[in-house]
Structure 1
Amino acid sequence: MSTVRGPGFLAPTVMAVVSCLLVAGCSADGGTSSFDGDGRLQVVTTVAPITSIVAGIAGDRAEIIGLVPEGTNSHTFDPPPSAAVVLSEADLVFINGLKLEEPTKDLAEANMADGATLVEVGTQVLPESEYIYDFSFPREEGKPNPHLWTDPTWAIRYAAVVRDALSDADPDGEDVYQRNYEAFDAQATELSDALRADQESVPADSRELLTYHDAYAYFAETYGWEVIGAIQPESFEDPTPREVAALIDQVRAEDVSVIFGSEVFPSAVLEEIGRATSARYEDTLRDDDLPGEPGDPEHSWTGLMRYNYVTMINGLGGEASLLAALDTTPAVRDDATYPQ
């Protein structure tokens, strides 16, 4: 199970990669620097699902470095000063936006070179009129739920923004980016179709999610699920005893059979609620931590979402056979750097 790391923490291996790549002039495997004037775009990304989507569109025309280590709380991640060097070398920086990565955005804006472009993908695709404020993201805090990528229909729109930004920066690659976008669109659509078919094995009134981290609001809106609660409050700390008592009452009233936790956010609170209500605690949902290791077929945005949908459908007593049969191997080889 991954460990939550607090603000300002960057795993030693990540710091070594950043230092090696951009200060000492070597690559992650000890070879020569990837920033060697080979003509490829230099691209920096934040969370792993966005890194995967960008890699799927860019292919081998870009060198891509993710900044946020997998298994880290992206909401509280504070990039170290050494990340400024990475950002200063970038032609393009892709972040989710929607106020998810404000410290990284600030660092990027302070250090990016003239002519480089910062792309807030989620902010571009989601009209303000469609912002969702909810359990972990109350309106009074001013930060909408940023988790668009858990919904394939929004992920396809992410890919279109990435395609256009890459094409603007590298017009010679426009045809490549379009082909790669079409391949991503086809794979995401196949995932969406399998999800719609498999979720029919769960009665409509049972497609309810009580989660720890509130990452499925847009998904629920698109696919007809209901998010009945999220345990983690806007402070990203555990809820108070009074809030826990209210959630126990809600679980009993709603007759919730499964509580879905997160492998990034281990929670004794969810275990307590499960014991008090006899609801089963499933603690393995992944919000932005891709399955497997970099280079594995399932280590991709498609693999991440397939895993979560199978976990949810099976957990609620359904059968996710079409999803389980999907090939999650990226259509385009992914050589991005994913901090671990």
Structure 2
Amino acid sequence: MRSRLIPLLAAASLAFGVSASAQAADKVRAVASFSILADMVKNVGGDRVDVAELVGPDGDAHEFNPTPADAKKLAGADVFFVNGLGFEGWMERLETSSGFDGATVVASTGVKPRKMDEEHGGHEEHAKGEDHDEHAEGEHDHDGDHADHDDHDDNYEEHAEDHHHGDMDPHAWQDLANGAIYVANIRDGLIAADPDGKAVYEANADKYLAALKAEDVAVKTALEALPQARRRIITSHDAFGYFGDAYGLEILAPEGVSTASEPSAKDVATIIRQIREDKIPAVFLENITNAKMLEQIAKESGAKIGGTLYSDAISGPDGPAPTYLDMFKHNVGTLTAALSS
């Protein structure tokens, strides 16, 4: 009996290994440009999608410079999810160098962009139109020949223009209503890449969209309870404009929309004077920026450090904001704790 059982177990083990290998090979291979977007893709894709990210948790996409390993990662992907709105200034260079020939899905397609006031580093508010829930197709194919991804030396030099966003604010995910647009575009991009998974992607997206909508209501409820006079804050760089527009906060930043920009001494002095004159209660650090400048501003202005907010990246799995939804929960908790007292 034992002699017959061993071959049977070996055959079963071999069959299981082949099955597991086949299942892994059948998965959609997706790459997301940064950690927040990767988390969204994981929620929609579920078990049918393997998701890799280029800029990981606590990483700064503004300062990111792709490596040959990143090119190799993208070269093997079926679909590439990017934010758009000028956020990934390095994207086209990486696509060309990697030889990527899959589909690129721009998650922000359909978002009404927020325009920057370049002279003052502030913003021009945009009206939320009736088409806020609508979206256009975010997918386009990149055809034609590409340079071999081994030939990378000239393509991975840092260029300042890679981090310049023009007059568009790319941080659209900071409004959960925009996050819902991202999810719809991700769903449609995955269905285009894997039509057999349509029902799964739709079900996952519906569940995720319901969670985003519930969190949107919770954020509005929490922040509407703050006194109007305490709804003005300072953050490291101008990443929370969509958040401020959506949830009723006025947010000032000594840096512009990119962390690659350097505020002048005059800009810092202006911020300090404004904090004193307007009695702005708190300044908030960000997980992707150097704290020294804001610590100086807080010390010289008398404002308190209200805590750390997550802007362009989620935390690692052991941190306070390991997912997109957790990021909002953490940020709102930090804001309300600092501004309520």
TM-score (norm 2): 0.75
1:144 to 168, 178, 183: 168
Q: Does 1:131 align with 2:114?
A: yes
2:187 aligns to what?
163
Q: Which residue of 2 aligns with 1:312?
A: 335
Determine whether 1:202 maps to 2:189.
Answer: no
Residue of structure 2 in register with 1:154 after alignment: 178
- Mean CA deviation greater in 275-284 or 183-192: 275-284
Q: Report the residue type matching 2:194 in the other structure.
A: D
Q: What is the one-letter code of the residue matched to 2:35?
A: A
Structure number, greater radius of gyration: 2
Q: Secondary structure at the match of 2:29?
A: strand
Q: Note closer, same or farther for the CA distance 1:246–1:113 as it changes in structure 2 (3 Å cut).
A: closer
The count of corresponding residues between Structure 1 and Structure 2 is: 280
Please give the per-residue CA displacement for 1:185-210, whole angstroms capped at 9, x wherever unaligned: 11111111111111132013422231
Corresponding residue for 2:270?
Answer: 246
* Equivalent in the alignment of 2:302: 278
For the structure 1 residues 136 and 175, does the alpha-carbon distance in structure 2 shift closer, same or farther, using more than 3 Å as the test? farther
Match of 1:231 among 246, 254, 260: 254
For 1:291-306, what aligned pairs fall within 5 Å after superposition? Answer: 291-293=315-317, 299-306=322-329
Q: CA deviation at 1:36?
A: 8.4
Name the CA distance, whole Å, in 1 between partners of 2:335 and 2:98.
41
1:262 corresponds in structure 2 to 286
Counterpart residue identity of residue 241, structure 2: A
Is 1:181–2:181 an aligned residue pair? no
Aligned counterparts of 1:45 and 1:285: Cα–Cα separation in 2: 22
Residue number among 104, 113, 119 corresponding to 2:105 in the alignment: 119
Q: Which moved more, 1:91-100 or 1:263-272?
A: 263-272
Q: Which amino acid aligns with 1:147?
A: H
How many Å separate the matches in 2 of 1:264 and 1:111?
Answer: 27
Maintained 8 Å contact 2:107/2:182:
yes
Q: Secondary structure at the match of 2:215?
A: helix
Q: Which residue of 1 aligns with 2:312?
A: 288
Whether the 8 Å CA contact 2:111–2:181 is kept in 1: the answer is: no
- Matches of 2:47 and 2:279 in 1, distance apart? 50
Letter in structure 2 aligned against 1:73: D
Q: What stretches of structure 2 of length at least 5 have no aligned partner?
A: 1-19, 125-163
- Opposite residue 133 of structure 1, the aligned amino acid is M
Q: 1:137 to 1:64 in 2, by over 3 A?
A: farther
Match of 1:217 among 241, 252, 261: 241
Percent identity, aligned pairs only, is: 28
Structure 1 unpaired stretches of 5+? 1-32, 319-340
Q: CA deviation at 1:110?
A: 4.1
Asked if structure 2 preserves the Cα contact closer than 8 Å seen for 1:70 and 1:288, the reply is no
What's the offset of the Cα at 1:100? 1.1
CA distance in structure 2 between the aligned counterparts of 1:70 and 1:56, rounded to whole angstroms: 16
Report the Cα distance in structure 2 between the residues aligned to 1:182 and 1:273, rounded to whole angstroms: 44
Alignment partners' CA distance in 2, 1:224 and 1:263: 22
Does structure 1 retain, via aligned residues, the 8 Å contact 2:36–2:312?
A: yes
| TM superposition score normalised by structure 1 | 0.75
Query: What SS does the aligned partner of 1:126 have?
Result: coil
Shift of 1:284: 1.1
2:221 maps to 1:193: no
Shift of 1:112: 4.3
Matched residue of 1:293: which SS? coil
Give the conservation status (yes or no) of the 8 Å contact 1:98–1:143.
no
How far apart, in 2, do the equivalents of 1:187 and 1:141 lie?
A: 30
2:60–2:313 contact (8 Å) kept in structure 1: no
CA gap 1:105/1:282 in 2 versus in 1, 3 angstroms: farther
Q: In 2 relative to 1, CA 111–292 (structure 1 residues): closer, same or farther, beyond 3 Å?
A: closer
Distance in 2, matches of 1:131 and 1:266, equals 25
**CA separation of 1:35 and 1:81: change in aligned 2, threshold 3 A:** farther
**1:101-155 deviation digits (Å, cap 9, x = unpaired):** 12133212443444x1011212x1224xx33214658899624111111111111
- Choose between structure 1 and 2: higher strand proportion: 2
Question: Could you give the per-residue CA deviations for residues 154-192 of structure 1, whole angstroms, max 9, x where no partner exists?
Answer: 111100000011011111111111111111111111111
For the 8 Å contact 1:138–1:144, the answer to whether it is kept is no
Shift of 1:261: 1.6
The alpha-carbon distance between structure 1 residues 79 and 64, as it changes in their structure 2 partners (threshold 3 A), is same
CA distance in 1, matches of 2:236, 2:78: 36
- Root-mean-square deviation over aligned CA pairs: 2.6
